């Protein structure tokens, strides 16, 4: 009986510690709820052989240069589209893909299409196209984007040419 009462009290204490403000509406400045979106087109040229294309994703990094794609994604320093685990990657063997991606408001220094080229999901990634308004997309300086709450930033267009990939800033 004492053990049962102790267990009930312990559960009640743990429950009360985890309760905050019940059904209170979210605060307007809660960063988790402030979102915007980007949209644009991804154009492709010179697709590689199918066996070298394990996955393809649009990744938006908070900082440039990232040192590792996988670590940036798992630490929350990058956002992936389509989200990993919820769907397949970007379509392959197409000439053009139109996307619309929700992201939290903020500044993002590096927007890329990334290819998983091998079986190691933690290290076999490379950038194959980047958002760059200088025209070439091959220099090492990508164009950053600023997203405000409830803003749709359009024309974040990326050209992917698998024969001419951009500079690779990743340090493994």
* pLDDT tens per residue, range 135-161: 655 556 889 999 999 999 999 999 999
Bigger pLDDT: 78 vs 52: 78
Bigger pLDDT: 170 vs 33: 170
pTM assigned to the model:
0.77
Cα 104–chain centre separation: 11
Architecture of domain 27-161 in this structure: Sandwich (2.60)
């749709």: which residue's tokens?
A: 152
Instruction: Report the pLDDT value the prediction gives residue 16, as an integer from 0 to 100.
Output: 40
Quick one: which H or E segment has residue 3?
helix 2-18
How much is the average pLDDT of 28-57?
Answer: 84
pLDDT digit string, tens, across residues 77-109: 999 999 887 779 999 999 999 999 999 999 999
C-alpha 27/C-alpha 113 separation (Å) is: 34
DSSP E strand boundaries for the chain: 35-45, 55-61, 78-81, 96-104, 106-108, 110-116, 125-130, 145-147, 152-153, 158-161
Bridge-based pairing of strands 158-161 and 35-45 is parallel
């Amino acid at each position: 009986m004492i053990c049962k009462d102790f267990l009930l009290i312990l559960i009640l204490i743990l429950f009360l510690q985890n309760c905050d403000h019940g059904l209170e509406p979210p605060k307007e400045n809660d960063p988790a709820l402030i979102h915007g979106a980007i949209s644009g087109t991804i154009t492709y040229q010179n697709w590689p052989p199918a066996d070298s294309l394990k996955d393809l994703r649009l990744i938006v990094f908070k900082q440039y240069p990232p040192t590792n794609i996988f670590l940036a994604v798992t630490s929350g320093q990058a956002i992936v589209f389509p989200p990993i685990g919820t769907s397949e990657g970007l379509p392959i063997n197409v000439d053009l893909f139109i996307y619309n991606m929700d992201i939290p408001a903020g500044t993002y220094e590096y927007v890329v299409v990334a290819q998983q080229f091998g079986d190691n999901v933690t290290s076999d990634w490379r950038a194959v196209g980047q958002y760059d308004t200088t025209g070439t997309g091959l220099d090492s300086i990508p164009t950053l984007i600023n997203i405000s709450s409830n803003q749709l930033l359009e024309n974040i267009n990326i050209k992917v040419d698998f024969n001419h990939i951009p500079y690779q800033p990743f340090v493994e």
